[in-house]
Copies of this chain bind each other. A is one copy, B any other.
Amino acid sequence: MAGKPKKEKQEGITVKKLENFSEWYTQIITKTEFVDYTMVSGGLAFRPDGYYAWEAVQRATDALFKDTGIINVYFPMLIPEKLLNKEKEHVEGFNPEVAWVTHTGDSKLDERLAVRPTSETIMYDSYSKWVRSWRDLPMRFNQWNSVIRWEFKHPTPLLRSREFLWNEGHTVFATREDAEAERDVILRIYELITRDYLAIAGVTGKKTDKEKFAGAEASYSIEHLLPDGLVVQGPAFHFDGQRFAKAFDITFIDKDEERKYVYQNTFAISTRNLGVMIATHGDDKGLVIPPRIARIQIVIIPIYNNENRNSVMAEAEKIRAKLNSKFRVFLDDNDAYSPGWKFNEWELKGVPLRIEIGEKELKSGEVVAVRRDTGDKTRIKLDRLEAGMGELLNEIHNNLYASAKKHLEANTHHAATFDELKRILKERGGIVQAHWCGNVQCEDKVKELTGAKISNMPFDKQGHGSDGKCVYCGNASKYVANFAKSY
């Protein structure tokens, strides 16, 4: 066999993010080696950088969960159909999306098995055996797994996948108050993770009854705004009340010796948030990965000619070794490509920080550090290399988050009238905050006439209901709602 390399020339991103977001996103997926399409529509391969980012999110979230007393468990991925059917709203919500196992080998199964779209039903059947007394409560379990939902006709990697990785927290309490008190604890954890790791901004609030989770009594979410002006739901928290408890007979003997139904919550963050991260930070050169979730935080690129190759390479290796204990660092010592080629390649892949070292740096005892987010160059003395790198990585993180926040704020508008709401949605997109009476008819009408749903009702804008009138019907307002077109 003889042949040529499959990849000879460098393929960068060829469209502008702001001119054609959809094509830009597709190129990011196919060219940056973060994730990749597979032969399964809606099923992704997470390549090393992509899976590292998810592991970083998972590790940080898991540690915060554990600090609050949450314990990890694992439940089967296949769920018997009769279990799935136990809670009416839940099954109606999920049935159209379920992947059904009907055969094993050549045999037809007596009962179909659902590949888990979510695990309430299989978990709560066990919970009904495990919860006995008030002493067993609260029981706060979580699992990390992957789920299948055949939800989208045209999947988009990460943002609208048919398989995604997530956590699913499933907690059980003796009282409504205890269950409800968990909400802010969990939403605060998700806010920290999105801010301090993914460096993305979001709006925390309550979902409307129409948009809440199938089977929940109330849902809460963090909603993210993408560059194309569409909103996508990030982490979510659902208060289930006693709905599943009654469907699955989860009861306990309380201190007063009465048998009572438990109260339950569920909550999740998924790999969809990696899609939000990519869409938020990426630019016309490629990915920009926030430092705390980057598999490679610093790439070192030696710049040499035939004469000084050995001395430059030796110094580059010394720098690599020095940084290696504190940072995730990679020395690109590939002789086959020019420094310029490498600059482009690592910018495409989104590595947050690049160190350039050549003859000039050898002499001056400095290196050049180039930020991926701004392109700014800094000269750093070798004797404060580690401190300098740490500062730059933090600055990059903070800058990415600040930009994301600024974008969210700049694209959050206010409308007092329905005409205004319509006009802003048409001309500018993004989020439009407006008063709402709480009536589903108005919610439906706005959707019908503008294409915008209520993404959520932001916590920090509530309590002013009586000040205004519903943007659609003009009756007294109950909530300030965020209207937006969404994924």
Contacts and interface: CB of A to CB of B under 8 A. Distances in A.
Interface of A: 1-7, 36, 38-40, 43-48, 51-52, 54-55, 71-80, 83, 95-106, 113, 115, 122-123, 125-126, 129-130, 132-133, 135, 141, 143, 145-146, 148, 150, 163, 165, 251, 253, 257-260, 334, 336
Nearest to A71: B48
A46 B142 CA distance: 11
B336 A135 contact: yes
A79 B89 CA distance: 30
Nearest to A36: B126
Given A51-B74, A96-B106, 14 more contacts: A1-B251, A36-B126, A46-B73, A46-B75, A48-B71, A52-B71, A74-B165, A76-B163, A77-B77, A98-B105, A99-B104, A100-B101, A101-B115, A135-B334
12 contacts: A1-B251, A6-B132, A38-B75, A40-B80, A45-B123, A47-B130, A48-B73, A77-B146, A78-B99, A95-B105, A97-B104, A135-B334
Contacts of A133: 5
Nearest to A256: B2
A26 to B, nearest CB: 16
Contacts of A52: 71-72
Given A46-B74, A79-B40, A258 B1 contact: yes
Contacts of A2: 257-259
- Name the prevailing secondary structure of the A interface residues: mixed
A76 B336 contact: no
A98 B1 CA distance: 36
Given A40-B80, A46-B74, A52-B72, A150 B104 contact: yes
Given A1-B260, A115-B115, A257-B2, A80 B46 contact: no
A110 B81 CA distance: 22
Given A83-B39, A133-B5, A253-B5, A141 B48 contact: yes
A469 to B, nearest CB: 41
A91 B136 CA distance: 47
B99 A259 contact: no
Contacts of A71: 48, 52
A40 B106 contact: no
B44 A163 contact: no
B259 A1 contact: yes
B258 A43 contact: no
A90 B138 CA distance: 47
A111 B113 CA distance: 18
Nearest to A76: B43
Contact of A45 (B75, B99, B253): B75
Nearest to A6: B132
Centre residue among A74, A77, A83, A141 by max chain B CB count within 10 A: A74
Contact of A47 (B3, B45, B73, B96): B73
Contacts of A141: 48
6 nearest CB pairs, A to B: A43-B76, A104-B150, A3-B259, A46-B74, A1-B259, A96-B105
A227 to B, nearest CB: 26
Contact of A98 (B76, B104, B125): B104
Contacts of A145: 146
A74 B48 contact: no
A45 B100 CA distance: 21
Contact of A148 (B74, B78, B96, B99): B78
Nearest to A52: B72
A205 to B, nearest CB: 30
Contacts of A79: 40
Given A74-B46, A258-B2, A40 B122 contact: yes
Contacts of A76: 38, 40, 43-45, 163
A77 B40 CA distance: 9
A100 B103 contact: yes
Nearest to A97: B105
A441 B292 CA distance: 58
Nearest to A271: B74
